[in-house]
Amino acid sequence: MLKRIICVVIALALFTSLFACSDSTKGGGSDTKESTTTDPNAGKSNLDIALEQQGNVNLEGMTFRILTPNPGSHFYYFSGATENEVFYEELGSEPLSNSIYMRNLEVSEKLGITIEPVWAGNTGDITAMVQQAVNAGDTDAFNVVLNRLDALVSNATNGLLLNYYNIDTMNLENKWWDKHIIDAFTMYGNKLYTLSGDINYYDDYAVEIVIFNHNICKDAGFDFPYKDVKEGTWTVDKMFTMAALGCSDLNGDGLFQENVDIVGIGENADCIIHFIYSYGLKMSETDENGVPVVVWANDQNTSVIDELYNYFSDSTLVNISYSNATAFNNSKEFFYLDMLGTLANFRNMEDNFGILPMPKGDPSMDSYKAYVSNGWTTVYGIPSMFNNEQANKIGTVLECLSAASADHVTPALYDQLLQSKYIRDEESQEMLDYILDSKVYDWAGDLEWASSLRGVYQNILSKGSDSFASSMESIRRATTKSLEKLAESIAELEY
């Protein structure tokens, strides 16, 4: 016992020295400019700021239970069998898991609470457990739920979650909450049921990125594209031009075969969906009330679909497969596109590689835009069986956990784990800022109401780009009805 106490004290001192000046990267970044005014929060940790906002309350022995996927489930398996975003029993050898341990320890001590995980098998299990707890009014089962975004939206539309805007102790303007997701999923100006921020990190792991092989890039006579990214000239056309010159028919049989020849670009069947965001487009937009509406076929998206079809239908240049990671690992692909969280696949790769944001479809765009998977993204929700007083206590804990995560977890993720374990050059480290700033959420991503809509984009390569307008029209009635049902279900919620 004494040994463990000593270890905890040493670790706490280490984390304090490392991260005392840390700031969140999710709420818009830290302000490093000099100021002539006195900052009342200067020298304070994010947790100190949160505690002051909460009136330095003590929750007197509250047990705070988090319903969450089992370690190694969800997409955690990319990083390992013990990977999770919620709880570790003790300190270990990994900076990220240690940061979660220290976050929980510090918040527990400051608030006088005990944090406990409630492990669940998978997304479906969690959805059912939320339904069961709310129906039974079981406030002892768990206080919050962490699950996939698409699954928690389903819980919300069924009236199983509380509205964050109605919780007095929550301040959604705090920098440790993700403004991307707040802006995207707030409906009717004041209804939000899913939330992410520094408290979790699979919302960051869910963004689409470009990974490229250093050796193939050099052999093709190209400089690494980092300068292009910084100058705003990293474009879809440039990536495909580079990919075409990086291809190599290694066995000379006139065919480009997966894991045999060097293919220019590796993607999967969702490639058209992934790339429309690079052009500043989406499958659905939100109206002035924050209500999603489908972007039906028009001149702009039809033109982009035609362009993408021409790019991706070239089988000598692109390989569409869900086993592309193996080919990239074996240095048989120049560019590989997937979620940021899949970088763990390449930790033992022999060739060096770099990461880039998704390229611009239109070089005149002000910034890079990237698809975010609602299936990869994890978010927190508060089950609706709690009264106002109970919900406010839960809000206090969430604020403090997210603030403490900005002190501990985000720096460990950003500065230690990603930069030292998965990323191999300084320029790629700089690319993280562009990547995390490029996130675009879409109500149509992975949500059930939009399955037919996604199908239209997924079938472009097999049916041809000429099918786009007619296919969109064929689903209009049923998709509109499904979307109206979703919007009405949110509008009718009283909490």
For 251-305, what is each residue's pLDDT tens digit? 877 777 777 789 999 999 999 999 999 999 999 999 988 899 999 999 999 999 9
User: Which of 485, 432, 406 minimizes the C-alpha distance to 44?
Assistant: 406
Q: 323 by DSSP, 3-state: which?
A: coil
Average pLDDT over residues 469-473: 98
Helix (H) or strand (E) holding 299: helix 299-312
- Average the pLDDT over 75-98 and give the result: 92
Find how far residue 97's CA is from the centre of its chain. Answer: 18
Nearest to 277 by CA among 224, 193, 206: 206
**CA–CA gap between residue 444 and residue 149 (Å, rounded):** 12
Q: What is residue 37's predicted lDDT score, i.e. its pLDDT?
A: 59
Instruction: For the chain, give the mean pLDDT.
Output: 90
Which residues, in sequence order, are CB contacts of 226 under 8 Å at separation 6+?
354, 356, 427, 428, 430, 431
pLDDT at 13 over 60: no
pLDDT at residue 8, rounded to an integer: 42
Q: How far is CA 391 from CA 86, 141, 402, in A?
A: 20, 14, 16
Model confidence at 419, pLDDT cuts 50, 70, 90, reads: low
Instruction: Specify the DSSP class assigned to residue 488.
Output: H
pLDDT at position 112 over 90: yes
What average pLDDT does range 322-344 have in this prediction? 91
* Neighbouring residues of 340: CB distance < 8 A, sequence distance ≥ 6: 204, 205, 206, 207, 208, 209, 355, 435
Q: What is the pLDDT of residue 27?
A: 52
Residue found by looking up tokens 């959420």 in the block: 441
Q: What is the pLDDT of residues 17-44, one digit of tens each?
A: 444 444 454 654 433 334 445 778 888 9
Contact 142, 65 (CB under 8 A): yes
The answer to whether the CB of 327 falls within 8 A of the CB of 319 is: yes
Query: Residues of the chain with pLDDT > 90: what percent?
Result: 77
Structure tokens at 301: 């998206």
In this structure, are residues 176 and 27 in contact, taking their beta carbons and an 8 Å threshold? Answer: yes
Distance between CA atoms of 125 and 88, rounded to whole angstroms? 21
pLDDT of res. 416: 58
Q: What is the pTM of this model?
A: 0.90
Rounded distance between C-alpha atoms, residue 198 and residue 402, angstroms: 5
Residue 22: the pLDDT is 44
Using the predicted structure, report yes or no on whether residue 425 has a pLDDT greater than 80: yes
Residue 184 has pLDDT above 70, yes or no: yes
pLDDT at 33: 37
